[in-house]
């Protein structure tokens, strides 16, 4: 009965890793998926995560019961504090409901399904370009997806006017997906002043912000600075949604741990919203997994672990920032034609190089460097050892 099933293409991001794994070359380099690597090119298990896991293992009262549908209560409370700020009036007034979800993707999907069922406007505007999974998540959640201008390939920066124009002509009440920081794939973020203008425009048109926060702490090294965009929207008392992921900032990729928060106008609305979120989650996966959320909660509630986490997070962010400088310097030293200053200007895990799909294919075939076809490279996958190889490949791709 399944012989007529048509083979689906690999995922544009995760498929890069599949291709990389098949390559036998000793020089192969995976700059596709956004996953942090050490200077030695190895995945990093944070020391603070090891300590938290040890504490969990030593806890004799530990059990493996089902979590409630909405997840671990401590985790939810602490996650809301992390993104909105400990002194957030929305939290103090109990206007926020937070549910533990399967990392960023699961949080976006649960939020999308909730909106499709209970929100009056079914259109979600996503930036052009955006993370390849966004349109699929929201379409399958039952929303209709449109794009707003975001990136200007000529300046390799923000198309702020285009963004304001498109949001300005969106129907009143439309949902708008915003990357809280370190926009994926471009590495281009609005300034705080620009965020304030975006907020004013969106509030004046009753557009509903849905933040995707996958990189808090990863962009600048500061957890507070990377949540500023979200916080200015919450400070005005209005509603918003936020999806959080702990994949990158705690290196908990495979634990699939994240949270969806919905900020409401009143505590009563928040508790009703939560009751409906449970109806979305229960038939989807019943309740979320325990282990990753226990690690996160242990780190967030212990000041010693929390401090160690911020140091390790800053070290990861700093290493990525130094890779930007090294790659830029290497291209300058080679005299590679073109302006490469965007490599140091863009922030977060990715550089949107401007290389086209033919150049990417050339670099994969000739240099065994793997990256997505849109020319995005994961700076977190690069090290001082591999910068020269990448610079050689870019130089050859551009001059060849
Ligand atoms: C990425 O964009 O590489 C990451 O967000 C990982 C993923 O799931 O695509």
Active site residue 212: yes
Query: Which pLDDT tens digit goes with each residue over 101-136?
Result: 999 999 999 999 999 999 999 999 999 999 999 999
Q: What is the mean pLDDT of residues 185-206?
A: 97
Judge whether 185 and 220 are in contact, CB under 8 Å: no
Q: Whose CA is closest to atom 5 on ligand 1?
A: 34
pLDDT value of position 137 = 98
Query: Which pLDDT tens digit goes with each residue over 67-87?
Result: 999 999 999 999 999 999 999
Q: What is the mean pLDDT of residues 139-150?
A: 98
Token pair for 287: 């309740």
* Rounded Cα gap, residues 162 and 172, in angstroms: 18
| Residues in CB range of 151: below 8 A, 6 or more apart | 127, 128, 129, 157, 158, 159, 186, 188, 352
Q: Whose CA is closest to atom 1 on ligand 1?
A: 34
pLDDT category at 391 given cuts 50, 70, 90 is: very high
pLDDT value of position 400 = 82
Query: Which pLDDT tens digit goes with each residue over 49-60?
Result: 999 999 999 999
Token pair for 13: 């991001």
Tell me the whole-structure pTM to 2 decimals: 0.97
Closest CA to 232 of 186, 184, 274, 196: 196
Q: What is the ipTM of this complex?
A: 0.94
Ligand 1 binding site (Cβ under 6 Å of any ligand atom): 13, 33-34, 131, 184
Q: Say which of 159, 166, 189, 212 is annotated catalytic.
A: 212
Percent of the chain surpassing pLDDT 90 = 99
Percent of the chain surpassing pLDDT 70 = 100
pLDDT value of position 167 = 98
Q: How far is the CA of 135 from the centre of ligand 1 (A)?
A: 14
Q: What is the mean pLDDT of residues 347-375?
A: 96
Backbone angle region of 206, left / alpha / beta, with phi > 0 → left and psi within -120 to 50 → alpha: left
> Rounded to the nearest 10 degrees, how much is the dihedral formed by the CA atoms of 152, 157, 159, 164?
160
Closest CA to 48 of 226, 252, 220: 252
Res. 243: pLDDT tops 90: yes
pLDDT value of position 224 = 97
Active site residue 195: no
| Average pLDDT in the chain | 97
Active site residue 329: no
pLDDT value of position 295 = 98
Which ligand 1 atom sits nearest the alpha carbon of residue 184?
2
Judge whether 111 and 210 are in contact, CB under 8 Å: yes
Helix (H, G, I), strand (E, B) or coil at 299: helix
Q: How far is the CA of 252 from the centre of ligand 1 (A)?
A: 13
Judge whether 351 and 156 are in contact, CB under 8 Å: no
pLDDT value of position 251 = 97
Neighbours of 24 (CB within 10 A): 6
Parallel, antiparallel or unpaired: strands 376-378 and 29-30: unpaired
Which ligand 1 atom sits nearest the alpha carbon of residue 105?
8
Rg (CA), the chain: 21
Q: What is the mean pLDDT of residues 137-141?
A: 98
* Rounded Cα gap, residues 21 and 325, in angstroms: 28
CA distances from 177 to 113, 123, 125, 147 (A): 14, 11, 6, 9
Judge whether 326 and 384 are in contact, CB under 8 Å: yes
Res. 204: pLDDT tops 90: yes
Angle subtended at Cα 341 by Cα 337 and Cα 345, rounded to the nearest 5 degrees: 160
């Amino acid at each position: 009965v399944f012989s007529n099933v048509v083979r689906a293409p690999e995922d544009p991001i995760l498929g890069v890793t599949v291709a990389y794994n098949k390559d036998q070359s000793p020089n192969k380099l995976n700059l596709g998926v956004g996953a942090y690597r050490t200077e030695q090119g190895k995945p990093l298990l944070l020391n603070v995560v090891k300590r938290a896991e040890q504490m969990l293992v030593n806890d004799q009262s530990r059990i493996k019961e089902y979590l409630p549908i909405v997840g671990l209560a401590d985790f939810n409370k602490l996650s809301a504090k992390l993104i909105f700020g400990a002194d957030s009036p929305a939290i103090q007034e109990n206007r926020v409901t937070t549910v533990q979800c399967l990392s960023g993707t699961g949080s976006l999907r649960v939020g999308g399904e909730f909106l499709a069922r209970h929100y009056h406007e079914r259109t979600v505007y996503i930036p052009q370009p955006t993370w390849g999974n966004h349109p699929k998540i929201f379409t399958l959640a039952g929303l209709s997806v449109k794009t707003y201008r975001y990136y200007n390939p000529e300046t390799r920066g923000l198309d702020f006017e285009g963004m304001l124009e498109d949001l300005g002509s969106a129907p009143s009440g439309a949902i708008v997906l915003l990357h809280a920081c370190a926009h994926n794939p471009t590495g281009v973020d609005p300034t705080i002043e620009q965020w304030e203008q975006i907020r004013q425009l969106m509030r004046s048109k009753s557009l509903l912000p849905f933040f995707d926060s996958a990189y808090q702490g990863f962009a600048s090294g500061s957890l507070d600075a990377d949540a500023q965009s979200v916080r200015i929207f919450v400070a005005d008392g209005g509603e918003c949604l936020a999806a959080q992921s702990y994949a990158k900032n705690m290196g908990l990729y495979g634990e699939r741990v994240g949270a969806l928060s919905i900020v409401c106008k009143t505590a009563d609305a928040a508790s009703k919203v939560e009751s409906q979120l449970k109806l979305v989650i229960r038939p989807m996966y019943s309740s979320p997994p325990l282990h990753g959320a226990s690690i996160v909660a242990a780190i967030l509630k212990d000041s010693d672990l929390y401090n160690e986490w911020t140091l390790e997070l800053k070290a990861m962010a700093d290493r990525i920032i130094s890779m930007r400088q090294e790659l830029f310097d290497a291209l300058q030293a080679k005299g590679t034609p073109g302006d490469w200053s965007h490599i140091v200007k863009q922030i977060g895990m990715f550089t949107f190089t401007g290389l086209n799909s033919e150049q990417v294919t050339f670099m994969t075939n000739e240099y065994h460097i793997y990256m997505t076809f849109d020319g995005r490279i994961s700076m977190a996958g690069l090290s001082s050892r591999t910068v020269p190889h990448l610079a050689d490949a870019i130089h050859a791709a551009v001059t060849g």
